[in-house]
Amino acid sequence: MRRELRGSMAFDASVLIELLLSTPGGRLLRERLLDGSLLGYATELALTEARYILCRRIGWEAAASRVEKLSLSGFIEVEDITPLCERASKLKCEAALSLPDCFTISLAEMLSIPALFARRERELLRELRRIKTEAEILFLEDFVEAGRTRE
């Protein structure tokens, strides 16, 4: 696993939510994005998923506003899903991953960058073992933990 949260990465909606809610992982992401050591990519579908999940927590207006500000900030490159549809469909056929997860992995493959998810969820890990991907799969929680052990 990488030791630093640096370079370009495809962000899953779970990572965007961490960022938008300013969790410990979200604050770490914000620091790296602001200092330029990290560049995030996300699909339109990841933004859509982040918006509806946040809506359930903080209401529609706040969720829509936060996601819009993030997409306009320049810290996240928002990618069109059209070139990813076939590969995402194949991943979905191979495993019981969510469709947005399939698009995140497809984006990572297309750009030859790691895919970043917030947490090691049991179901996600199980299904990741079923697919063949060249994309490195990383988890934000590992970087948060690594930061705590260095303190």
Residue 52 has what pLDDT?
96
Question: How far separated are the first and last CA of the chain, in Å rounded?
Answer: 20
Q: What is the pTM of this model?
A: 0.91
Encoding tokens for residue 97?
């991953």
- Confidence band, pLDDT 50/70/90 cuts, at residue 17: very high
Q: Over 70: is that where the pLDDT of 150 sits?
A: no
Select from 11, 138, 23 the least CA-distant residue to 73.
11
Q: Which residues pair with 105 in a beta bridge?
A: none
Ordered domains of the chain (ranges, CATH): 7-146 (3.40.50.1010)
What is the C-alpha to C-alpha distance for residues 96 and 77, in angstroms, rounded to an integer? 27
Query: In percent, how much of the chain has pLDDT > 90?
Result: 80
Which residue in the block uniquely carries the two structure tokens 């604050």?
A: 27
pLDDT digits (tens, 9 = 90+) for 92-145: 999 999 999 999 999 999 999 999 999 998 988 888 888 888 899 999 999 987
Instruction: State the Rg of the chain over Cα.
Output: 15
